[in-house]
Structure 1
Amino acid sequence: MYDTILFPTDGSEATIGAAEHAFSHAERYDASIHVLSIVEVAGGLGTAGRERAALNERRDERASAAERIVSETEPEGVETTIAVEFGSPARVITEYVDRNAIDLVVMSTKGRSGAERIVFGSITDEVVRRADAPVLAVRR
């Protein structure tokens, strides 16, 4: 049913439950997992040396956090790929789904709440509306 599963994460502890669901599905369906972490950037990528260095540092932090989550939740035998990309999270996730023929997205509902959610919306909500794959939204 599912050959390729995407698990987007910001590396926080709040996403562990979604990781457990993603890896459980991968094990059940003998699917591979793509773990995607996104460095959110406003506008375009800066070209100044300091901006580039800061983005690279954030990319490395995101990669380390994703690797930690994988090491804590990945069952033996599940093929896992970790990627870190730059941009608007919902856009990056939906584009990643298209580029990588993702069959299922498993993501946490944690994130913005209250007034911030009303103003900015939920990344999960936007992915549900835009992704060309089913989205399993896991409550914390």
Structure 2
Amino acid sequence: MYDCILVPTDGSREVERALEYAFELARTHDATIRSLYVVNAAGYGGLPMETALDGVSDALRDEGRAAVDRVEELAPADVTVETKVLDGAPSQVIVEEADPAECDLIVMGTHGRGGIDRLLLGSVTERVVRRASVPVLTVQVDPDEVDDRSEEPRLAAE
């Protein structure tokens, strides 16, 4: 059913909960995991010097490389992982990368913000869910539960 599962990462430990689901699905369907980090340097465009922007961009790329390398480290030996670090608006790049010709499923963590937090901060996951042409599996990744989670992954509704 799935040949390629796209798993965007921001490098946080919370994303590891979503990875558990992705790895299990990859095993079940003999699918490849494509780990993606999106460098969103647009917010740094107002810096006064071009060299400062280059330095920030390099730092963000290094952070991205570390994030996708961590996915490779966590992957079970029987799961193939490909990695990409791309530039752009995160939700747009994720949707484009998951074009049906590339990936069959997106697995993303969601921090579960609601109300005014979601209104003010927006949600990359929500924008991806609304725009993606492939199914999106969202996994609740509450930072307070990262250290307390059980051995078996559970759906947020459980």
Instruction: Please give the root-mean-square deviation of Cα atoms over the aligned residues, in Å.
Output: 2.3
Task: Give the conservation status (yes or no) of the 8 Å contact 2:36–2:85.
Answer: yes
Aligned residue for 2:148?
none
Task: Give the conservation status (yes or no) of the 8 Å contact 2:112–2:140.
Answer: no
Instruction: From the superposition, tell whether residues 114 and 70 of structure 1 become closer, same or farther in structure 2 (CA, over 3 Å).
Output: farther
Q: Distance in 2 between matches of 1:6 and 1:55?
A: 23
Task: Give the conservation status (yes or no) of the 8 Å contact 2:2–2:31.
Answer: yes
Instruction: From the superposition, tell whether residues 95 and 115 of structure 1 become closer, same or farther in structure 2 (CA, over 3 Å).
Output: same
Instruction: From the superposition, tell whether residues 19 and 78 of structure 1 become closer, same or farther in structure 2 (CA, over 3 Å).
Output: same
Deviation at 1:45, TM superposition (A): 6.8
Letter aligned with residue 58 of structure 1: L
Aligned residue for 1:30?
30
Task: Give the conservation status (yes or no) of the 8 Å contact 1:111–1:122.
Answer: no
- Residue identity over aligned pairs, in percent, reads 42
Gaps of 5+ in 2: 142-158
Structure showing greater radius of gyration is 2
Instruction: From the superposition, tell whether residues 33 and 45 of structure 1 become closer, same or farther in structure 2 (CA, over 3 Å).
Output: farther
> 1:14 aligned to 2:14?
yes
Task: Give the conservation status (yes or no) of the 8 Å contact 1:38–1:85.
Answer: yes
Gaps of 5+ in 1: none
Deviation at 1:19, TM superposition (A): 0.7
Q: Which TM-score applies when normalising by structure 2? A: 0.78
> 1:48 aligned to 2:60?
no
Deviation at 1:100, TM superposition (A): 5.5
Match of 1:67 among 66, 69, 79: 69
Letter aligned with residue 22 of structure 1: A
Structure 1 or 2: more helix by fraction: 1
Deviation at 1:116, TM superposition (A): 3.6
Instruction: From the superposition, tell whether residues 64 and 132 of structure 1 become closer, same or farther in structure 2 (CA, over 3 Å).
Output: same
Q: Number of residues paired by the alignment? A: 139
